[in-house]
Structures are given as C-alpha cells and as structure tokens.
Amino acid sequence: MRLIFIGDVIGKAGRRAISSQLPVLKDTFQPDLVVVNGENAAGGFGITEKIFDEFIDAGADVVTLGNHAFDQREALVFIERVDGLLRPANYPPGTPGKGAGVFTTENGQQVLVMNVMGQVMMNPLDDPFVAVERELAACPLGVACDAIIIDMHAEATSEKMAMGHFVDGRASLVVGTHTHIPTADHQILPGGTAYQTDAGMTASYDSVIGMDKEEPLNRFLSKVPTGRFTPALDEATMCGIAIITDDKTGLAVEIAPIRMGGRLQPVLPDF
C-alpha cells in the first residue's frame, strides 16, 4: 500500500499549497490514502468546516489535529458529523469527536489512523501511550486492518521517538507533528515501522515556524507582545512523508520525505 502524510498546514499559504501541490503529488505517487494535519489551517489556529472540505476536495482522506483542535469553536460541532476528522485520542472521555478511525481505500484495504498528543511541554492530557495501546488492541495490524498511521503531535523529540519504538512492529508509520520543522531522520525501525520525528509544516519557511517574522522577533527582543501572531503569506513548501507497506504484514518497506514548492529544496519519493 502507498501512503502519504502531510505535515501541519498553516494559514492561507499552507492551504494554497495543499490545493495546488497535493493533486500533483497524488498524480505522481498514486497513494492509496492521504492524511493531512490541519490543526493550524485557520489563520494558524484550528480548523473550520470549510477548510476541512477544501482539504478533502484537494485529495486528503483524513485530517488530523492537535493542541489547537478546538481553537475554532465550530470544530466542537462539525467534528461530530464529518468523516475523516480526528482530534487527539487522549483527550478526556466526553470530548467531541474521535481520536482514531478505520478508513477504507478504493482497493478495499483498511487503514487505522490515529492522532495522539504528547504530554511533555504540552497541555496536560491523558497518557498517549495508554491511548495508543488501547487503539492497537482494538484494531491490531494484520488482523483487523492492513496499515496503521499514528500522528504523534508532540513538542519533545524524545517522546516522539519513544512512541516509535513503543509500537515498532505494530504500526506502519509513526510521524511527529507540532514542531513544524522537517527532521532528517526518516527511517524504518528494526521491527518494520516507518518513522520520522517531525514531518515539517506546510507553510512559508520565510517565517518563524510559519508565522510572520515581525511579532515573534519583537517578543524575543523586547519581551513585550505588540500584536497577534499571524501566518506568513509567502509561497509555502508542502512537507510530509511517503511510505510503501508490505501487503502481507502492513509494515513499511520504503520511506521517503516530501518537499514541494516554496523555499526548501524539493524532494519527491522515487519509488
């Protein structure tokens, strides 16, 4: 199976990149399933139903979230009625929406996608390792599904790496989001799970992690806020990861980074 994960889409520039670049990538790579992290899509903070629909129209099958999941209040409502929108699975019981789902590809294969949020330097939620274990027990790889993608939305690289090793051999892909910079450690772990500490952001890289440079610089230099953070508007680079799994085991056999458009050096899968 051919799977794509696209990192945090930030603001209008990121949305433009999804609309223009994702269809091209799909034509080239022919993925069976595409997952996009959209938690920063609405002005850098949260997601709206209109934006969710735009991502689906551009070719996404699933949209994951993170610590900004409900910054746009309408998300509390529409997350209950749309398919393919996931908030972190380790939110407390009773939180609107769901943190994991099984999605069927055009070929009839079943892919479990889950979204969890780290605890280190993040808003306190339930233990993400317990949440992941619960979902894996309910839908084990090779038994109840053909592939498993885990979006580990976390600040600490150590926590992301620990999650990769925790599920090695039991998931197809563990990919980190939230820190917005693509890491150079894409690999297949010893047990067969594809891993990258951070997929990077789909946003302008002439920025401070996707935001217009002026206000972040001001806060570092003066320590006094003078305005809101707003997303940078220059051309975005769409960043992510592509993998191929073994249809018999669901484990990864190929992994490659994705970078399209904008300032970063372009990279596309060659398999």
Q: How far, in Å, CA of 169 to CA of 111, rounded?
A: 16
- Give the C-alpha distances (Å, rounded to integers) separating 101 from 53, 149, 214: 18, 10, 40
Question: Are residues 114 and 98 in contact, defined by beta-carbon separation less than 8 angstroms?
Answer: no
68 is catalytic: yes
Could you say which of 68, 153, 178, 186 is catalytic? 68
Question: How far apart, in Å, are the Cα atoms of 233 and each of 27, 95, 173, 196?
Answer: 26, 33, 31, 27
- Please state, in angstroms and rounded to a whole number, the distance separating the CA atoms of residues 76 and 97: 8
Closest C-alpha to 25, from 241, 249, 265: 241
Residue 102 CA to residue 123 CA, distance in Å, equals 27
Q: Where are the alpha helices (DSSP H) in the chain?
A: 11-29, 49-58, 75-78, 128-138, 157-167, 214-222
Q: Which residues are catalytic?
A: 68
